[in-house]
């Protein structure tokens, strides 16, 4: 169960559908249940997966997924399955998934999807306070297993549950399985993008590719970009992604004073052309549980600049401070961009100097950094490995 897989909802629409597809490829019957919001674009397909989708009406759109009929649907479905895997927090469908699992006597898995990270917990506090007392505490207490996409997210889950939320468990478990990454066989040429956006013709570009949302730090990137204008000669800042927060997008535009190329969301060939032909990609997020676009940039052979709010600058094996059972896959999936020589890490407040550092590298050095990153991504991240790790964890909690 995930609240939505409509394309403009961001990373989970891809990561959840791909995970479900890989689990189906491994011979399992997988049902993906969600609400469908027409205003957020088409639903991302999940080949081989049974899609159980219900239209989100007015109450669902404006009431955090409130839908009694969707709850009834989940209750019926839970009886047919061995495990209920709930993605996300703080919305009514997350309660419905927990109730369905409990009533059917099936184990509940929760993927927090970055929603217990410090930055996320500080946002919309009143709404989360209400959700906490209405249903979220019971949701978390009912989980037999938590899924994290990185060691840093596992640590955040453990810390948040034990310290901030004071959840009491007997022996809660966390399985760490990263999102997989598609590796393009070739990089499309840049001509099609240049035809659509003439400002890019003959220019090098720095790419921001993510939702236009305060969490992603785009306003801070815009300020840094304007402060180092003398270093930007011959370069354009490309902003590619859906504008989920129109008011925030206008603030960014005002800061850039007409600079920057806004492409909207790019998909398919255009997406990989933008990534593969960029000088480098920058993701200045305050908080990420994984940060799939960083992995995609490396897969396209381009280095990345990102922040300490993402797991891409962490130590290889940080200590899990809380006494919770952590299960990891055997392949190793931590990746520090600087230690692997394929990017730069900074605080959000240090974007100025980090941008200058990346721009000081020659094109040849950026190519070498990108090549190193691609080799590491090929070695460490695959959808199949993630699906296998989580399936093994399912067996443990289902007694199989």
Average pLDDT of the residues in 166-175: 68
pLDDT digits (tens, 9 = 90+) for 177-209: 988 888 898 999 999 899 999 999 989 999 999
The stretch 50-62 carries a mean pLDDT of 93
In angstroms, the Cα distances linking 221 to 207, 212, 256, 260, 350 are: 11, 12, 10, 11, 10
Q: What is the pLDDT of residue 170?
A: 55
* Mean pLDDT of all residues in 243-263: 93
* Tens-digit pLDDT profile for residues 14-51: 899 999 999 999 999 999 999 999 999 999 999 999 99
pLDDT value for 159: 80
Beta strands (DSSP E) in 191-242 are 204-209, 235-240
Instruction: State the chain's mean pLDDT as an integer.
Output: 88
Q: What is the pTM of this model?
A: 0.77
- Assigned fold of 7-180+384-398: Rossmann fold (3.40.50)
| H/E stretch holding 343 | strand 343-346
Q: What is the pLDDT of residues 79-124, one digit of tens each?
A: 999 999 999 999 999 999 999 999 999 999 999 887 777 767 777 7
Contact 65, 91 (CB under 8 A): yes
Higher-scoring residue by pLDDT: 164, 377? 377
Q: Give the CATH class of 191-314+332-381.
A: alpha beta
Residue 296's pLDDT is: 94
| Phi, psi torsion values for 218, nearest 5 degrees | -65, -35
Residue spans of the domains in the chain: they are: 7-180+384-398, 191-314+332-381
């Amino acid at each position: 169960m995930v609240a939505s897989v409509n394309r403009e909802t961001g990373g989970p629409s891809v990561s959840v559908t791909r995970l479900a597809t890989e689990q189906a490829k491994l011979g399992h019957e997988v049902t993906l249940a969600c609400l469908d919001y027409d205003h957020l674009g088409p639903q991302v397909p999940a080949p081989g997966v049974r899609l159980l989708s219900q239209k989100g009406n007015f109450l669902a759109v404006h009431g955090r997924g409130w839908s009694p009929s969707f709850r009834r649907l989940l209750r019926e479905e839970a009886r047919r399955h061995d495990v209920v895997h709930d993605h996300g927090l703080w919305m009514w469908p997350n309660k419905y998934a927990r109730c369905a699992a409990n009533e059917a006597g099936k184990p509940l898995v929760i993927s927090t999807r970055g929603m217990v990270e410090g930055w996320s917990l500080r946002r919309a506090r009143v709404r989360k306070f209400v959700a906490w007392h209405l249903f979220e505490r019971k949701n978390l207490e009912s989980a037999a297993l938590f899924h994290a996409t990185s060691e840093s997210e596992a640590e955040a889950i453990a810390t948040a549950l034990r310290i901030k939320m004071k959840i009491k468990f007997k022996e809660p478990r966390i399985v760490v399985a990263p999102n997989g990454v598609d590796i393009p066989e070739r990089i499309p040429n840049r001509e099609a993008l240049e035809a659509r956006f003439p400002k890019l013709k003959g220019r090098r570009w720095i790419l921001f590719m993510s939702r236009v949302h305060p969490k992603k730090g785009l306003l801070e990137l815009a300020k840094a970009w304007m402060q180092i204008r003398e270093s930007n000669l011959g370069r354009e800042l490309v902003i590619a992604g859906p504008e989920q927060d129109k008011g925030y997008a206008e603030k960014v535009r005002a800061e850039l004073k007409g600079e920057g190329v806004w492409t909207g969301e790019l998909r398919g060939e255009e997406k990989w052309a933008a990534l593969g032909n960029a000088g480098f990609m920058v993701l200045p997020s305050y908080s990420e549980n994984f940060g799939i676009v960083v992995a995609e940039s490396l897969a396209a052979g381009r280095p990345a600049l990102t922040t300490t709010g993402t797991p891409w600058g962490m130590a290889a094996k940080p200590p899990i401070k809380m006494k919770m059972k952590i299960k990891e896959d055997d392949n190793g999936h931590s990746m520090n961009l600087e230690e692997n020589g394929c990017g730069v890490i900074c605080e959000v407040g240090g974007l100025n100097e980090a941008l200058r550092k990346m721009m000081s590298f020659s094109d040849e050095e950026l190519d070498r950094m990108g090549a190193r990153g691609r080799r590491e991504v090929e070695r460490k991240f695959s959808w199949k490995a993630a699906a296998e790790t989580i399936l093994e964890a399912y067996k443990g909690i289902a007694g199989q």
